[in-house]
Amino acid sequence: MAPPAVLMVGTGEYTTGFVSGAASTSDKKVGVVGLTLFDLRRRGKVSDLSMAGVSGQKFPAIRQHLQKNISEAYNGLDVSFQSFPSDDKSNPQSYKTAIDALPQGSAVTIFTPDSTHYEIAKYAIERRIHVMLTKPATKLLSHHLDLLALARKHKVFVYIEHHKRFDPAYADAKFRSRNLGDFNYFYSYMSQPKSQLETFKAWAGKESDISYYLNSHHVDICEWMVRDAGWRPASVRASASVGIAESVGCAKGTEDTITLLVDWVRSTDDKRATGIYTASWTAPMNAGVHSQQHFHYIASKGEVNVNQAKRGYDVVDENDHSGSSLKWYNPFYMRYAPDEEGNFAGQGGYGYVSFEKFVDGVTAVNEGRVSLEELDKRGLPTLRNTVLTTAILEAGRRSLDEGGRSIEIVGEGDKIELK
């Protein structure tokens, strides 16, 4: 069977590294999705590639950007793709035309604003196209559960791009935590500098918030670490700071930093644990890292501390005039340095691995070598395995909207509800 064709929905920073008419100023200057899929095509794991956005007028500049920064940087790597809509058109619904053009067994990656995930994924699933969604899967728990039911009905693989599960330190921490006794406390912090608000200004504070965008990483990691021991979230309260994002032009009320306080319970012995998850997109500029990311896990017989912002690798570059010449880079996520032959060599980065796991799953399902149930049992970030993450994130949003009220999470499996 031929490798799957893949459609990339969304043409922004994460897909192409191209933002507001130029290369991104973040750590994703050549993107992640496009580069990874171009290399997977070189390796024979995917076939035809296409891309869908809202404005076709952007595609000529995107192609120039990819040619210069990817093809010329990696030994002539093929960066060709079919685009929707055409270069002279603008169409917010172009993803439908692009999905309709895909052959059976194809896949779609959805890296668009959070509020659009549900409709795009639903359209793809109903046409029996496999789906990768950037996190969060959806903003609403009801939408997540609806997509889960549709995926079962149409027998397609739907995978959430929780790449931190494939970070070697985080994966090893999960493994070691199994022998540390009962879950007791989890604290996490993740941030990005306020310059990112320029990238997200079209939707920041209007269609989604920083908790959905960044807390989704560690909420998922914590739930993934403790679920097999029988722990479930029982209630969520949220608090937020406001003022900085507004001062740089975001909508009134846009939260700067959001903290979720989650009560975890285990029904078998009535034990309780506490989870605190903080995310900010107004961190100071010129801090030397693009994203602070760390967590502290405490159990009855031990603890785990992971700080993935500074990994023992720093560079001083006087040519960098952004404000700080001292940088802590993260080649463990996406390694952009070419190999000895000039080819892209980042296949071991956990950002790349996350995509390859999805593509391999799609191929295995298409060839009848694995069932969707088996993929769930492997612990991959599938729709079924991320229901509680969405429940916590929506509960946090509801708590903020309702003055800090505690929101309960009740039920089991696909019968989860918020109260």
One digit per residue, the tens of pLDDT, for the chain of length 419 reads: 789 999 999 999 899 998 767 666 656 678 999 999 999 999 999 999 999 999 999 999 999 999 999 999 999 999 999 999 999 999 999 999 999 999 999 999 999 999 999 999 999 999 999 999 999 999 999 999 999 999 999 999 999 999 999 999 999 999 999 999 999 999 999 998 888 887 777 777 778 899 999 999 999 999 999 999 999 999 999 999 999 988 888 888 899 999 999 999 999 999 999 999 999 998 888 777 888 899 999 999 999 999 988 878 889 988 876 666 788 888 899 999 999 999 999 999 999 999 999 999 999 999 999 999 999 999 999 999 999 999 999 999 999 999 999 999 999 888 999 99
Rama region for 215: left / alpha / beta (φ>0; ψ in -120 to 50; rest): alpha
CATH no., domain 168-331+386-418? 3.30.360.10
Q: Compute the radius of gyration of the chain from its Cα atoms.
A: 21
Q: Where are the beta strands (DSSP E) in 284-367?
A: 292-299, 302-307, 314-316, 326-328
Domain 6-163+352-377 is in which class?
alpha beta
Could you give the residue range(s) of every CATH 3.30.360.10 domain in the chain? 168-331+386-418
Contact 268, 230 (CB under 8 A): yes
Could you give the residue range(s) of every CATH 3.40.50.720 domain in the chain? 6-163+352-377
Q: Which residues contact 94 (CB under 8 A, 6 or more apart)?
A: 52, 53, 54, 56, 84, 85
φ/ψ (deg, to 5) at 15 = -85, -50
- The rounded distance, in Å, linking the Cα atoms of 272 and 266 is 7
Q: What is the pTM of this model?
A: 0.94
Contact 133, 117 (CB under 8 A): yes
